[in-house]
């Protein structure tokens, strides 16, 4: 006879919230990697034109259909997404580094530096974001280089503000003040007390830059700035599809767009699940 009370009968769920979040995170990373890798292998198929397979509706052989030159839309979409992902990551890395440096500078070097950087942030935020992207890519003579730089130098302000706030808050924390009073060197305080606290925030902010970077990259190429027409960027695919919409070729726009939306959502899922893992308090919001 076992005498178990009701309370003891409680079964632990096999997966707790934290496990689930971890699974979401891994799911997003793996799927994005699959898109990026399969896309970069699609180079040949994406540009192969077939006169016997023009304007086909989505089918088993061509899940996303084919375009007016008989190119497979799934291959083109994957290729376009992989280009977008690479540009997005490149631009986010540069943007995050800028944000990190400026945020730490603003918080550590007194009121004047802080005011200058705050002014700089206001100036960048003072032009509608898309127009700033347009201007920078115009200044750099369009092309892929222009897109990367434009997206990179316009996305840092928000993250820089977050980093600045974090550094300012930790500077006032008792353990940092005690370390100072005990005569610890500033560099050692920065390494032992500040960095472990700032880095996770930085990482999450960095990943949450991706979705914006990818969306803006797509918008810029859609408008005709940036990638050349031969490169099947996702924005170019969508802007080309515009000419065929009135002919009723809906699949040219619907599937690539849905694929872009899913990619952005996956990046978002990756960032927000990582945030919940690193900072469990934010998960309850």
Partner 1 sequence: MKTGHAVAVYLVKILVKLLLVLLAVSIICFVLISVSPVDPIRMYVGEVGMRNIQPETLAKLESYFGLDTPLTIRYFNWLSDFVRGDMGTSLIYRQPVIDVIGVRFVNSFALMLTAWLFSGILGFFLGVIAGIRRGRLTDKLVKGYSLLLASTPTFWLALVMLMVFAVWLKWFPIGLSVPIGVDASKVTIFDTLHHLFLPALTLSVIGVANIALHTREKMIDVMAEDYVLYAKARGKSTFSILRHHGIRNVILPAITLQFASIGEIFGGSVLVEQVFSYPGLGQAAVNAGLSGDSPLLLGIAVISAALVFSGNFIANALYGIIDPRIRRGLKND
Binding site for partner 1 (CB under 8 A): 119, 122-123, 125-131, 134-141, 211, 215, 218-219, 222-225, 238, 241-242, 245-246, 248, 250, 253-254, 257, 260-261, 264-265, 268, 285
DSSP 227: S
For partner 1, the closer CB: 162 or 238: 238
Closest separation in Å from C-beta 75 to partner 1:
20
Percent helix / strand / coil, the chain, rounded to 5: 75, 0, 25
Beta-strand runs (E) in 90-137: none
For partner 1, the closer CB: 63 or 224: 224
For partner 1, the closer CB: 106 or 215: 215
For partner 1, the closer CB: 13 or 126: 126
For partner 1, the closer CB: 45 or 116: 116
Closest separation in Å from C-beta 193 to partner 1:
31
For partner 1, the closer CB: 167 or 219: 219
**91: Cα within 13 Å, side-chain hemisphere:** 31
Closest separation in Å from C-beta 132 to partner 1:
8
Closest separation in Å from C-beta 68 to partner 1:
16
For partner 1, the closer CB: 61 or 261: 261
For residues 223 and 191, is the Cβ–Cβ distance under 8 A?
no
CA-CA distance, 87 to 70, in Å (whole number)? 27
The token pair that represents 189 in the structure block:
């305080």
Closest separation in Å from C-beta 219 to partner 1:
6
Instruction: Tell me which long-range contacts 253-259 makes (C-beta under 8 A, separation of at least 24).
Output: 255/58, 255/63, 255/64, 255/65, 255/73, 255/74, 255/77, 256/64, 256/73, 256/76, 256/77, 256/80, 259/77, 259/78, 259/81, 259/234
DSSP string, 152-192: HHHSHHHHHHHHHHHHHHHHTSHHHHHHHHTT--HHHHIII
Closest separation in Å from C-beta 98 to partner 1:
16
Closest separation in Å from C-beta 140 to partner 1:
8
Closest separation in Å from C-beta 223 to partner 1:
5
Helix 110-125 vs helix 156-171: crossing angle, to nearest 10 = 150
The phi, psi pair for 60, rounded to 5°, reads -65, -40
For partner 1, the closer CB: 194 or 264: 264
Chain-centroid distance of CA 163 in Å reads: 18
CA angle 87, 91, 92 (to 5 degrees): 115
């Amino acid at each position: 006879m076992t005498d178990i009370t009701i309370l003891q009968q409680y079964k632990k769920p096999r997966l707790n919230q934290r496990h689930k979040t971890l699974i979401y995170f891994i799911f997003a990373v793996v799927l994005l990697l699959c898109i990026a890798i399969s896309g970069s292998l699609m180079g040949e198929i994406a540009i192969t034109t077939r006169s016997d397979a023009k304007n086909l509706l989505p089918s088993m052989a061509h899940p996303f259909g084919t375009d007016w030159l008989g190119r497979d839309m799934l291959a083109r979409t994957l290729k376009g997404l992989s280009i977008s992902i690479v540009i997005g990551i490149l631009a986010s890395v540069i943007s995050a580094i800028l944000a990190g440096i400026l945020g730490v500078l603003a918080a550590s070097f007194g009121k004047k530096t802080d005011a200058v950087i705050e002014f700089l942030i206001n100036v960048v935020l003072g032009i509608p974001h898309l127009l700033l992207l347009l201007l920078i890519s115009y200044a750099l003579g369009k092309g892929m280089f222009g897109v990367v730089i434009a997206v990179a130098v316009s996305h840092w302000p928000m993250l820089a503000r977050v980093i600045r706030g974090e550094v300012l808050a930790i500077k006032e924390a008792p353990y940092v003040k005690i370390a100072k009073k005990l005569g610890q060197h500033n560099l050692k305080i920065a390494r032992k007390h500040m960095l472990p606290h700032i880095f996770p925030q930085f990482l999450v902010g960095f990943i949450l830059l991706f979705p914006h970077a990818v969306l803006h990259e797509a918008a810029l190429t859609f408008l005709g700035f940036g990638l050349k027409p031969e490169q099947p960027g996702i924005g170019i695919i969508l802007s080309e599809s515009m000419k065929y919409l009135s002919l009723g070729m809906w699949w040219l726009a619907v599937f690539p767009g849905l694929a872009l939306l899913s990619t952005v959502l996956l990046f978002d899922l990756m960032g927000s699940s990582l945030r919940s893992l690193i900072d469990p308090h934010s998960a309850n919001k």
